[in-house]
Amino acid sequence: MSDPVSGAVQFQRLDVRHAGMMHELERRCFPLPWSEEQCRAAFAQPAFAAFGLLGEQGLVAYVSVYHTVDELEILNLAVVPEARRQGLGRRILHLSLQVARKMGMHRVLLEVRAGNHAAISLYESSGFQRIGLRPRYYTDSGEDALIYACALAF
């Protein structure tokens, strides 16, 4: 198998043309991925945005968010399985936080499965702190969602 991130990897804002690639990456990463139609519908919402790392092989990582004037909520962050140890999760998270700062946002929120230790480690090492719990939030498993927040310094 070829290296999914060989060559240049570009960070860019995604649009509805990338919905199929987002769905395919989600299908490989999440137990209940958004369908391509759900991805397309999300782009129609003004508060939705997605950012990706695109390489020669296509979309290698992306983050989707909802945003208000002051706050960004991270919905999903996905990295192709074969590139997870290459720091792409940390890179795309850092780049999306830079975008949020430039947009004048003061806080970033996210929810993560209590059993997702890799994601929790990534977020905690990036300055996120646990601020709450949503019991039985994930409908597929009844698993709790841990709520994390990060204040953005200017």
Q: Which residues of 117-129 are buried (b: 16+ CB within 10 A; e: fewer)?
A: eebbebbeeeebe
User: Taking the mean position of all CA atoms in its chain, how far away is CA 20?
Assistant: 16
Catalytic residue among 71, 73, 111, 143: 111
Strands 145-151 and 107-113 come out as antiparallel
62 noted as active-site residue: no
Strand ranges of the sheet holding 10-13, from the earlier edge strand across to the other edge: 10-13, 48-55, 58-67, 71-79, 107-113, 145-151, 129-134
36 noted as active-site residue: no
Tokens of 131: 């601020």
Active site residues: 111, 123
